[in-house]
Amino acid sequence: MRIRRVQGVINHALAAAVSLIMFVPVYLVIVNSLKTKAEASSMGAGLPSALQWENFATVIEKGKLVTAFGNSVLYAVGATLIGTTVAALAAYVLSRNRTRLNRGLYFFLIMGIAMPTNFVTLMKVMQVTHLINTQLGIILLYSSMSIPFSVFLIYAFVGTIPRELDEAAIIDGCSPIRLFFSVIYPLLTPVLVTAGVLNLLGIWNEFLLPLYYLNSSAYWPMTLAVYNFFGQFQADWSLVSADIVLTIVPVIIVYLFAQRFILSGMTAGSVKG
């Protein structure tokens, strides 16, 4: 018992140390966002002599963050809804019909988690389909990128849902589409929330896709707005820090509210697969 307690204390201490290390950059950004230009020039860890809340107002005005925030919400929410729904449909069909072909399709899909993106070929596809530099194009890109991981999560969860529900719904006259959306889809809520939140956070922080495929600054999300703002005001670390804080705050809020769903959804389908 003592050995277990000692191991528990050591593990908690290591976890606390790692958490502290991860928190240091966030702390530095938050503290320096409230300093004057002179105080923030060294990006020190000391507290500001006076809180400079006007830094955030300056950043919102000069960095055009209202437009960028709206674009990020549109891309993240739109792509998450489309990608998660399509992935749920695919995972349901592949899980319920485990033939050799479907098994191969499943492994082919989840290979997308690790496979790198060919940006040259993707650029050609975007040009041919006239989706380059459009909001619809970037939403479809984000949606397709999120499908492999979502299928991986949902596939195992579908296996925990009894097949008798499908049979009962079919006997009652449900069509395949109605069966999925009326019976199965509501039961997938835990894993759908998990996949949705993780995809939303990933899309919100994505930088390369909008950089390559969005030429107009009117369509830029928050990540590109920060990049552009840093290029203009890199001498003023107080404004740069304030810009970064405004970008990461929505992500932190979403994660704090959704973390219990993430944990439950990640473990719910681990018993059967």
Per cent of the chain over pLDDT 90 is 37
Least reliable range by pLDDT among 19-23, 24-28, 90-94, 174-178: 19-23
Alpha helices in the chain (DSSP H): 2-33, 37-40, 54-62, 65-96, 100-110, 119-128, 135-158, 163-171, 176-179, 185-187, 189-205, 208-213, 222-233, 237-268
Provide the 8-state DSSP code for 31: H
- Determine, yes or no, domain membership for 50: no
- Determine, yes or no, domain membership for 4: no
pLDDT number for residue 233:
67
Q: How far apart are CA 7 and CA 13, in angstroms?
A: 10
* Residues present in the chain in total: 273
Phi, psi of 227 (to 5 degrees): -60, -45
Q: How far apart are CA 149 and CA 112, in angstroms?
A: 8
- Determine, yes or no, domain membership for 46: no
- Is residue 160 within 8 A of residue 268, CB to CB? The reply is yes
- Determine, yes or no, domain membership for 99: yes
CATH number, domain of 161, equals 1.10.3720.10
Per-residue confidence band for 221, with pLDDT thresholds at 50, 70 and 90: very high
- Determine, yes or no, domain membership for 6: no
- Determine, yes or no, domain membership for 34: no
- Determine, yes or no, domain membership for 209: yes
**Cβ-proximal residues to 238 (8 Å cutoff; 6+ apart), any chain:** 32, 33, 34, 35, 36, 37, 39, 40, 52, 55
pLDDT number for residue 263:
64
pLDDT number for residue 272:
45
Q: Is the dihedral of CA 250, 251, 252, 254 positive or negative?
A: positive
- The domain of 80 spans 63-268
- Determine, yes or no, domain membership for 115: yes
Instruction: Kindly tell me the burial class for residue 73, based on how many C-beta atoms sit within 10 Å of its own C-beta (0-12, 13-18, 19 or more).
Output: middle
pTM (two decimals) = 0.84
Domains identified in the chain, total number: 1
